Chains A and B, each alone.
Chain A
Amino acid sequence: MERAAPRRRNSLFKNISAKIAAIPMAFTALVVFLGGTIWTVVYSFTNSKLLPRLNFVGFDQYTRLWSTPRWLVSVENLAIYGVLSLIFSLVIGFILAVAMDQKIRFENTFRTIFLYPFALSFIVTGLVWQWLLNPDLGVQHIVRSLGYTSFTFDPLYNADIVIYGVLIAGLWQGTGLIMVLMLAGLRGIDEEIWRAARVDGIPTWKTYVFIIIPMMRPVFVTTLVLIGSGIIKVYDLIVAQTGGGPGGASEVPAKYVYDLMFYSQNLGQGFAASTMMLVSVIVIVVPWAYFEFSGRKAR
């Protein structure tokens, strides 16, 4: 017992430099990430307007949120954009990775081309595609000037399809990354698996479908989570490409949150909307984490 006391005091000052160095990390983890999240969730149950006030109103903000047309459009857009973006990113990314994996010439050139948009900001991406999809300037204009005068392709000016215009830009920016990840996954597969499949006489496409893709499950799951958590954050792209238009047809939740917090001075609504974003992330990430960790234990 006598010894226990000095040892305890020692343990507090042990690695004191390490603990001092960890202060920024502790601050970030506890105050910003944990504290900030809890704070926002708590204040989403208040009627804060211009300033945050602890005046609880229960689920009022959420009721109002889910009866606001703009929010409903935002959620619908995010769902369409999210699902299509997931499917196309995975399919295009995988196909490109497979093509890149055929011992082709100019591999580095192709990789450079596919990946450079990823280095650009969403603002730049949004502006570029705003012009390319501009009916008086871009694709529609060109096709019409070739003689097809009735050709119409103006997604950014058509409320029904504007989100697909955003999708084209989003895919342009992000598929290169998916391709690189898939390619790394393909390259990570034991060369001898391919040889064994060839000796067994399994056609290449069947080898991909029945052997390689199942073996790449972890890569697919990782990219899925990556794309998924990226989609929910979509904001800059919309601001630059459509500004939410035409007529609010391309609104997304992240933009709704920002606008309500910093333009409309309706903090409570903003907090409720951002809490809904948090919930949707949890819906994506928790099952993944569960599979990932239970899977690892089995292995």
Chain B
Amino acid sequence: MNTSVSVKDLTLKFGAITVLDKLNLDIGDGEFLVLLGSSGCGKSTLLNCIAGLLEPTDGQIFIKNKNVTWEEPKDRGIGMVFQSYALYPQMTVEKNLSFGLRIAGMAKDEIDRRVARAAEILQIGPLLQRKPAALSGGQRQRVAIGRALVRDVDVFLFDEPLSNLDAKLRSELRVEIKRLHQNLKNTMIYVTHDQIEALTLADRIAIMRGGVIQQLDDPMTIYNEPKNLYVAGFIGSPAMNFFKGEITTAEGRPAFVTNGVTFMLDGYKAKGLLQPGTKAVLGLRPEHITVDGPEAGNTHQAVVEIEEPMGADNLIWLKHAGQSMSVRIGGSRRYRPGTQLRLSYDMGVASLFDAESELRI
């Protein structure tokens, strides 16, 4: 795969604060990459560096194999969509789309052609003569995307483009952005703090924390095989259940024990050796726990404390191995508080982390 955007040893410091620390990232041609993290993790900073809106302290940025570290944003071959849309309020939609092109001195019929194409792709043709104030949030966001579209660039940058919209519009526009990517096949870099957006849109997700990429993988790998405790806890809602304990051996096979409760690790795909005596954290996603399944192998008894029916699913909170844990089951299965039930686990999708290094074992 050809690289489209390449970030080499990128460091950015504001005074004594290091926002990005020797960051390396290669993004393939036509790839949809999502930068995901909580606020202050450096994801927007990284995007602004790629756009040329922030100057790095050190390191280089390549777009289409050209070193653009010192280039102006307009010369980098990028288009950008902002969280607040950043539409020019006193100009009509059409003027908003064409303003940059007119400043660049482009021929009028070429401008018209591009605006017409963007309007068609985004279905904003009827809105062209309106001003931004007369548009809904979703329409404004479309115009903002259109402004990137008319630039006819290879790389699209999205800075939390959907976070100012309500939940329903957000999921609608999410689908549209995915459709846009499938049709245009441009490289897209997308910053968000919303893991649903990340999981649904991305070819690959880069999870960031403290200016460092924690894990760069496709969504399923990130979900099923988080590289460390932070990623495991960050992805997934409700969050993964964690048990602190240590690796041991039971019946001659590797196992994990916490508060006197033993989990057999049969089927766990360990990266290295499961050294008995290692302090470790076992992570089990609520949806990877089976309730009242077949009575075979690794099963425990527990009592339901709270039930949270959520329509499609039903979330059950119970006390197990001395701590609170959640289990997700089908919405039609109800368990009243106080009910005794049987838990079984699929260790093939469980996660085990070294308690000290917090890395996956």
Closest to B144 in A: A196
Q: Is the CB of B53 within 8 A of A195?
A: yes
Interface residues of A in 182-208 (CB under 8 A from B): 190, 192-193, 195-196, 198-203, 206
List CB contacts (< 8 Å) of B58-95 with chain A: 72-75, 78-80, 82-90
Residue in A201, A202, A203, A214 with the greatest tally of chain B CB atoms within 10 Å: A201
Whether A198 and B74, one on each chain, are in contact in the complex, defined by CB atoms closer than 8 angstroms, is yes
Contact B88 A198 (CB under 8 A): no
Say whether B51 faces chain A, with CB atoms less than 8 Å apart: yes
B72, A198: Cβ atoms closer than 8 Å: yes
A210 and B100 alpha carbons, distance in the complex (Å):
12
Complex-state Cα separation, A201 to B151, whole angstroms: 10
- Per-residue interface assignment for chain A, residues 211 to 229, with 1 indicating a CB less than 8 Å from any chain B CB and 0 otherwise: 1001100000000000000
Q: With the chains together, A206 CA to B87 CA distance in Å?
A: 16
Q: Which residues of B contact A190 (CB under 8 A)?
A: 84, 86
B100 x A192 contact (CB < 8 A):
no
Cβ-based interface call for B273 (8 A) = no
The CA of A202 and the CA of B52, in the complex, are separated in Å by: 14
**B133 interfacial by beta-carbon distance below 8 Å:** yes
> CB < 8 Å: which of A192, A206, A214 contacts B103?
A206
Instruction: Looking at the assembled complex, report how far the CB atom of B90 sits from the nearest CB atom of chain A, in whole angstroms.
Output: 4
Size class of B's contact patch? 20 to 34
A192 touches B74 (CB 8 A): no
Q: Is B99 an interface residue (CB 8 A)?
A: yes
Q: For the complex, what is the distance from the CA of A198 to the CA of B157, rounded to whole Å?
A: 14
**B52 contacts across to A, CB distance below 8 A:** 198
Q: Is B147 an interface residue (CB 8 A)?
A: yes
Q: What are the residues of chain A within 8 A of B100 when measuring CB–CB? A: 199-202
Q: Please, how many angstroms separate the alpha-carbon atoms of A210 and B82 in the complex?
A: 20
Question: Which residues from chain A contact B88 at a C-beta distance below 8 Å?
Answer: 193, 196, 210-211, 215
Are A199 and B84 in contact, CB atoms less than 8 angstroms apart? Answer: no
Q: Which residues of B contact A211 (CB under 8 A)?
A: 88, 90
Give the docked Cα–Cα distance between A174 and B275 (Å). Answer: 78
B107 in the interface, Cβ–Cβ < 8 Å? no
A299 in contact (CB, < 8 A)? yes
Known contacts A199-B51, A206-B103, A192 near B86 by CB under 8 Å? yes
A190 to B85, CA, bound (A): 10
Q: Knowing A195-B53, A214-B90, A215-B89, say if A201 contacts B74 (CB, 8 Å).
A: yes
CB distance from A99 to the nearest CB of B (A): 21
With a cutoff of 8 Å between Cβ atoms, the chain B residues found around residue A215 in the complex are 88-90
Residue interface mask B22-53, A partner, CB < 8 A = 1: 00000000000000000000000000100111
Q: Does B167 contact A (CB under 8 A)?
A: no
Q: Is B80 a contact partner of A196 (Cβ separation < 8 A)?
A: yes
Tell yes or no: B104 within 8 A of A by CB.
Answer: yes
Instruction: Tell me the bound Cα distance from A192 to B89 in angstroms.
Output: 13
Q: Is the CB of B103 within 8 A of A200?
A: yes
- Cβ–Cβ < 8 Å partners of B51 in chain A: 195, 199
Cβ A195 vs Cβ B99 within 8 A: no
Contact (Cβ within 8 A) A192 B90: no
Asked whether, in the complex, the Cβ of A199 is within 8 Å of the Cβ of B83, the reply is no
Contact of B133 with A196 in the complex, beta carbons under 8 Å: no
Closest to B104 in A: A201
A200 to B48, CA, bound (A): 14
Indicate if the CB atoms of B103 and A203 lie closer than 8 Å. Answer: yes
Chain B residues whose C-beta falls within 8 Å of the C-beta of A193 in the assembled complex:
86, 88
Starting from the known contacts A190-B86, A198-B52, A198-B74, 17 additional A-B residue pairs (CB-CB under 8 Å) come to: A192-B82, A193-B88, A195-B48, A195-B73, A195-B82, A198-B72, A199-B73, A199-B100, A200-B99, A201-B104, A202-B99, A206-B103, A210-B99, A211-B88, A215-B88, A215-B89, A215-B90
- Enumerate 15 A-B pairs (CB-CB under 8 Å) in ascending A order: A192-B83, A193-B86, A195-B51, A198-B72, A198-B73, A199-B51, A199-B53, A199-B74, A201-B72, A201-B73, A202-B99, A202-B103, A206-B103, A215-B90, A299-B133
